[in-house]
Amino acid sequence: MKKIISGNEAIALSFGDSGGVFASGYPGTPSTETLEEVARLDEVYCEWAPNEKVALESVIGASIAGGRCLSTMKHVGVNVAADALMTLTYTGVNAGLILMVADDPGMHSSQNEQDSRNYARFAKVPMLDPADSQEAYDFVRAGFEISEQFDTPLMLRTTTRIAHAKGVVEQREKIKPVVGEWARNVPKYVMLPNFGKIKHGEVEERLLKLREFAETTPLNRVEMADTELGILTSGISYQHVREAYPNASVLKLGLVHPLPEKKIRAFAAKVRRFMIVEEMDAIFEEQVRAMGIRVDIGKDRISYCGEVSADIVRAALGDAVTGSAPPVADLPQRPPTFCPGCAHRGLFTILSKLKAFVSGDIGCYTLGALPPISAMHSCICMGASISAAHGMAKVNEIAGRTEKPVAVIGDSTFFHSGMTGLLSLAYNGGNALVVIMDNRTTGMTGGQENPGSGRVLQGEPARQVDIATLVKALGIDNVAEINTYDLAETEAAIRKGLETPGPYVLIDKNPCILRYRVKQSMLAVDLEKCSGCRACLKVTCVALGMVPAGDKMKVQIDPNICNGCGVCAQLCKFDAMSVVKG
Which residues of this protein are in contact with ligand TPP, per CB under 6 A?
A: 26-28, 74, 76-77, 80, 111, 362-365, 382, 410-413, 437, 439, 441-445, 512
Q: How far is the CB of 158 from ligand TPP (least distance, A)?
A: 15
Q: Are 253 and 233 in contact (CB under 8 A)?
A: yes
Q: Which residue sits closest to ligand TPP, CB atoms considered?
A: 410
Q: What is the DSSP letter of 536?
A: G
In terms of CB distance, is 18 or 442 closer to ligand TPP?
Answer: 442
| Beta partners for residue 47, in sequence order | 24
Q: How far is the CB of 23 from ligand TPP (least distance, A)?
A: 16
How far is C-alpha 447 from the geometric centre of its chain's CA atoms? Answer: 14
SS3 135: helix
In terms of CB distance, is 350 or 522 closer to ligand TPP?
Answer: 350
Query: Taking Cα atoms as reference points, which of 431, 430, 448, 429 lies closest to residue 439?
Result: 448
SS3 18: strand
Q: Are 42 and 11 in contact (CB under 8 A)?
A: no
In terms of CB distance, is 147 or 412 closer to ligand TPP?
Answer: 412
In terms of CB distance, is 227 or 420 closer to ligand TPP?
Answer: 420
Q: How far is the CB of 490 from ligand TPP (least distance, A)?
A: 16
Q: How far is the CB of 476 from ligand TPP (least distance, A)?
A: 19
Distance CA 129, CA 284 (A): 13
Distance CA 372, CA 355 (A): 13
Residues in the chain: 582
Distance CA 363, CA 407 (A): 13
Amino acid at 554: K
Distance CA 61, CA 55 (A): 10
In terms of CB distance, is 312 or 389 closer to ligand TPP?
Answer: 389
In terms of CB distance, is 239 or 412 closer to ligand TPP?
Answer: 412
In terms of CB distance, is 7 or 230 closer to ligand TPP?
Answer: 7
Q: How far is the CB of 434 from ligand TPP (least distance, A)?
A: 13
SS3 573: coil
In terms of CB distance, is 132 or 361 closer to ligand TPP?
Answer: 361
Q: How far is the CB of 32 from ligand TPP (least distance, A)?
A: 8
Distance CA 379, CA 367 (A): 11
Q: How far is the CB of 438 from ligand TPP (least distance, A)?
A: 8
Torsion 523-525-530-536 (CA) sign: positive
In terms of CB distance, is 217 or 413 closer to ligand TPP?
Answer: 413
Q: Nearest 5°: phi and psi at 389?
A: -60, -40
Which DSSP helix (H) or strand (E) runs through 244?
helix 235-244
In terms of CB distance, is 260 or 443 closer to ligand TPP?
Answer: 443
Strands 544-549 and 552-557 come out as: antiparallel
Distance CA 523, CA 539 (A): 15
| Beta partners for residue 358, in sequence order | 406
**In b/e form, how buried is each residue of 143-172, taking b as 16+ CB within 10 angstroms?**
bbebbbebebbbbbbbbbbbbbeebebeee
In terms of CB distance, is 49 or 248 closer to ligand TPP?
Answer: 49
In terms of CB distance, is 309 or 439 closer to ligand TPP?
Answer: 439
Q: How far is the CB of 82 from ligand TPP (least distance, A)?
A: 11
Using alpha carbons only, what angle is made at residue 103 by residues 327 and 326, rounded to the nearest 5 degrees? Answer: 10
Query: Taking Cα atoms as reference points, which of 457, 511, 504, 515 lies closest to residue 480?
Result: 504
In terms of CB distance, is 114 or 412 closer to ligand TPP?
Answer: 412
Torsion 202-204-207-211 (CA) sign: negative
Q: How far is the CB of 121 from ligand TPP (least distance, A)?
A: 21
In DSSP notation, 340-358 reads: TT-THHHHHHHHHHHT--E
Q: How far is the CB of 568 from ligand TPP (least distance, A)?
A: 20
Q: How many helices (H) and strands (E) does the chain have?
A: 20, 22
Q: How far is the CB of 411 from ligand TPP (least distance, A)?
A: 5
Q: How far is the CB of 344 from ligand TPP (least distance, A)?
A: 6
Q: How far is the CB of 362 from ligand TPP (least distance, A)?
A: 4
Distance CA 311, CA 10 (A): 28
